[in-house]
Amino acid sequence: MIILIVVVFAILGFVVSSRLKSKFRKYSQTALQANLSGAEIAKLMLADHHIHDVQVVCVEGQLTDHYNPMNKTVNLSPDVYYGRNAAATAVAAHECGHAVQHATSYAWLNFRSALVPIQNISGKILNVVLIASLFGGFALGLPVPIIGYIVVGSYSVMTLFTLVTLPVEFDASNRALAWVQSRNIVTRPEYEMSKDALKWAAMTYVVAALASLATLAYYIFIFFGNRD
């Protein structure tokens, strides 16, 4: 069953990822009427929100764009940093949306940030316990029910993290779209392209959350589903 879950969501994730890349390529071919690069848009959005302590930098890779709250940087891939199109606009504004969340102490972002160290520890514990569980728990000197509680508890934290990520990502996209529209950065067709690109980007997080929920349900059934 666990193999089936992994395969199904791996295929689904591949489909969504491929669709996202296809949309990005498509919307990258139409020049932005405002003729602003992703880097220029990011800096403008930060300035409009009175954020002056966040740097916009270029990082290697494709679709490697992210906001780093630790060093306060909006990291944009070359296609986005230099791109002057609807796709680059959407991604750059979205990552700045996270910077705005950080600056305004957005509750869901704070919650997710607080979960990061807990999730990291849970992941390490889960790896150790799952390997030990292959030997019936004897490698840890623990009975199988205790192994079950540890596995379910650890994976619950990881699943919670994927679920909390959803409102954070959707909110960042909403902030981005509202800003580019109010600032007249994009025309109506360009706005629709940006919106569609961000929709498919969000779908990658939705798939990850569903996969995590399905795996958690599987572990709960395996360890506790056969009890009278």
**pLDDT < 50: residue spans in the chain:** none
> For residues 107 and 124, what is the distance between their CA atoms, to the nearest angstrom?
27
Element (H, E) at 158: helix 144-182
DSSP-derived pairing of the beta strands 66-68 and 73-76: antiparallel
In this structure, are residues 103 and 51 in contact, taking their beta carbons and an 8 Å threshold?
A: yes
pLDDT of 39-57, one tens digit each?
999 999 999 999 999 999 9
Residues 6+ apart with CB under 8 A from 192: none
Tell me, yes or no, if 95 is annotated catalytic.
yes
Report domain extents, the chain. Answer: 2-224
Backbone dihedral region for residue 28 (phi beyond 0: left; psi -120 to 50: alpha; all else: beta): alpha
The pLDDT assigned to 146 comes to 81
Categorise residue 105: left if φ over 0, alpha if ψ from -120 to 50, beta otherwise.
Answer: left
Q: Cβ(63)–Cβ(111) under 8 Å?
A: no
How much is the pLDDT for 133? 65
- The structure's pTM equals 0.88
Which residue is catalytic, options 95, 169, 190, 192? 95
